[in-house]
Structure 1
């Protein structure tokens, strides 16, 4: 059983008329859509990059997005993710005092020379909240070591935790061997995987993610600025995420920005300068915001349509989707979307369980399928009493005879 609905018709049609509609937008709307042009992706000077819509996950632009490269300090995105999950799960608290060991000594550890530091000293007792901010805002390698020791007892065990979340998040081209991102031959990531870590930070630990937009941090009277220069960009609403640089990695930058309901995440790996990675990220983000938009034609647990049910305690069942359906489409094309639903069976019989799948909703643009979702039961329908079932039996015979 197939039905076609546009967003405009959804607002105008009654439920009884939905069954008999099979339309496309008028010719004027179709002709107007032909004038909407999406220019080519801007030329990006980096070894690899990706631009995704945070809500829909749609990739808008990419180059070498699955090629493995050194993450440098982008590693700290996963470090702070693990720390924040430990806070969420009650393993540690923000006000816990961490005693700094010698392996986290900023100036006494040779591997830290010339790198980003919070300038910790052995014997210092520093709250978890400050160490986590030092990791996020100052990219403090010493703070990473201090937190790894506190949470896991050693850096090696903490790295195991990091790689556990690599598997949980489904990252295909990422492996960590350090807690801070200094070069290691066994450590690698990809632009696509870094975008997915960015999504996880925003989605899973929103309270901690809010720290990424802070522009400066002072510890022990040492004031340091957030290295993400796009936080000061007046044309973009940037609220994260992280920079990274080593000789082998080049200049890396993951950025998230919003415009209205739309959030984009860009990743630049292997840029050629600090200014360059910011300029190339800016190009991607502006291009994405100007020529695309995020829409949500289907909302979780909201009625999409109803269908007739036989032998139940009610005559109709409410149908919809169990998760919000975010789509990324060319800007100005929402009126051209077509929503089609097909029921698995021509007739529905009680009982029907809540969230039971009864069909499929298909979203099309220019006759191309861009999304499909299960059409599910939103309200349980139990079997009706004996009288109701008998009445429905004769109604169904009558219905078959005349149809």
Structure 2
């Protein structure tokens, strides 16, 4: 396995706060180890710093992330599996939105209300329901609102059966898709989060899922912020997410509660160009759920700000190349390289380049080949930013590749 190379930049780079608008933040990920080359998109934050200023929450499990920066601002027991209750309905909706976007279903399609859906999640179940009548056809559009606004367990089963033929088949789709989008601590046993053995998620997975919904399906995200849903001229359902009703910029996503799991909430809010995602879980009361999520969002919005490190097109550093027409390839960001740091930061940071190498030629301009790791001087806030090849590097001839191999054996490319 090739070594992970690290090239340290100026140990005390001076950067300046951004004052322009609109703010542009490139994708950032906080990870526990060097990123493998050619692995595609950077992994979502796997580790995070202690919160600046000693912030703490009484939620047993929590995470706060900046969605645009892929940066975790705060976390507490974020990787422990727990019973997510209705928050797991977000995965059901992720599949519904995927099918809509692919054109395999339409909003006006009517899905049949089976006896299983009616008994298990409808009126006879005495659980959260949209009360869809047995043996009727309900449009997908109304079923989505039945989930996002009313948290209807029947609506989830009806959608599952309409898409996959049975809830069992749909659950397999849920678990398969969870792996595809990077959920590592999640397993689903049903479509609605009702108590079931092995139905678990983590706070981090819920944040990843929320970000996936926001980024991948912006055309459907408005359903989460809908305050009321009038159904069959008989029911008026009010959105169960209390933060949607508060004037703090929150526009989604989902609450959850079971006796076994306590009160939980996944919420997202936007102020200016900054979007935050918060997850709290395991709280004792609905009031605690609302207040802890609100306080965490407020803290996040006021405690972090963007800094400019490199302008677009500026070379950050070089990476070593094996078998190329050049021994080094310039590294650049995808546009401006901006950081998200505590608002109290002076702008002094330490930075290093990490990559698996030497990098084998040929290399195409725009290939992601390294990571810029930046640490704030005043805190343990860490940003990890993908870096890309700034130019094409062709493959050298056989003789030159042989010389490169000897250099690696003799000097380990410490040139």
Query: TM class, shorter-chain normalised?
Result: 0.7 to 0.9
> Residues 63 and 3 of structure 1: is their aligned pair in 2 closer, same or farther, counting only changes over 3 Å?
closer
Q: Is the 8 A contact 1:305 1:319 kept in 2?
A: yes
What's the CA shift for 1:233?
1.7
Please say if residues 185 and 205 of structure 2, whose CA atoms lie closer than 8 Å, have aligned partners that are also in contact. Answer: yes
Aligned to 1:191: 203
CA contact (8 A) 1:6 1:338 kept: no
2:118 aligned with 1:105: yes
Cα distance between partner residues in 2 of 1:282 and 1:304: 39
Which residue does the alignment assign to 1:274? Answer: 286
Residues 188 and 199 in structure 2, CA contact (< 8 A), matched pair in contact too? yes
The question of whether the paired residues in 1 share the 8 Å contact of 2:90 and 2:254 is answered with yes
Tell me the equivalent position of 1:68: 81
Q: 5 Å matches for 1:194-273?
A: 194-221=206-233, 222-234=235-247, 236-273=248-285
> Is contact 1:112-1:141 (8 Å) kept?
no
Partner of 1:303: 313
**Cα distance per residue 1:334-364 (max 9 Å; x no partner):** 743566779999xxxx997422578765534
1:145 maps to which residue? 157
**Is the counterpart of residue 42 in structure 1 residue 95 in structure 2?**
no
Seen in structure 2, the aligned counterparts of structure 1 residues 157 and 360 have a Cα distance that, compared at 3 Å, is closer
Higher helix share: 1
- Give the 3-state SS of the residue equivalent to 2:341 in structure 1: strand
1:156/1:164 CA distance change after superposition, 3 Å: same
Unaligned runs of 5+ in 1: 11-36, 309-316, 384-403
CA pair 285-342 structure 1, distance change in 2 beyond 3 A? closer
Is structure 2 residue 103 aligned with structure 1 residue 90?
Answer: yes
- CA-to-partner distance for each residue in 1:155-201, whole Å, 9 max, x for gaps? 00000111112211222221110111111122111112111111111
Mark the CA change 1:341 to 1:176 in structure 2 (over 3 Å): closer, same or farther: closer
Q: Could you tell me how far apart the structure 2 residues matched to 1:98 and 1:129 are?
A: 10
Tell me, yes or no, if the aligned pair for 2:16 and 2:309 is still in contact at 8 Å: no
Distance 1:220 1:318, change over 3 A: same
CA distance in 1, matches of 2:369, 2:171: 45
Q: Distance in 1 between matches of 2:121 and 2:74?
A: 44
2:365 paired with 1:328: no
Shift of the alpha carbon at 1:256?
A: 0.9
Contact kept, 8 Å, 2:121 with 2:128, in 1: the verdict is no
Aligned with residue 191 of structure 2, among 179, 188, 199: 179
Q: How does 1:280-295 map to 2 (within 5 A)?
A: 280-295=292-307
Give the number of the structure whose alpha-carbon radius of gyration is greater: 1
**Is the Cα contact below 8 Å between 2:306 and 2:341 reproduced in 1?**
yes
Q: Which residue of 2 aligns with 1:120?
A: 132
Number of positions where the alignment pairs a residue of Structure 1 with one of Structure 2: 343
Q: Secondary structure at the match of 2:87?
A: helix
The offset of 1:76, in angstroms, is 0.7
Alignment check: 8 A CA contact 1:106 1:117 kept: no
* Structure 2: distance between partners of 1:9 and 1:277: 34
Q: Compute the TM-score of the two structures, normalised by the length of structure 1.
A: 0.74
CA distance in 2, matches of 1:174, 1:342: 30
Are residues 265 and 82 of structure 1, via their aligned partners in 2, closer, same or farther at CA, if it must alter by over 3 Å? Answer: same
Segments of 5+ residues of structure 2 without an aligned counterpart are 1-6, 19-50, 319-328, 396-415
Alignment counterpart, residue 56 of structure 1, candidates 69, 84, 94? 69
CA RMSD of aligned residues (A): 3.7
Q: TM-score, normalised by structure 2?
A: 0.72
CA contact (8 A) 2:340 2:383 kept: no
1:363 and 2:377 aligned: no
1:297/1:325 contact within 8 Å kept: yes
Q: CA deviation at 1:246?
A: 1.3
Larger relative contact order (CA 8 Å, sep ≥ 6) = 2
For residues 29-73 of structure 1, the C-alpha deviation after alignment (integer angstroms, 9 at most, x for no partner) is xxxxxxxx94221342x3322222222333222222222211111
Does the aligned pair in 2 maintain the 1:338–1:364 contact within 8 Å? yes
SS in 2 for 1:252: strand
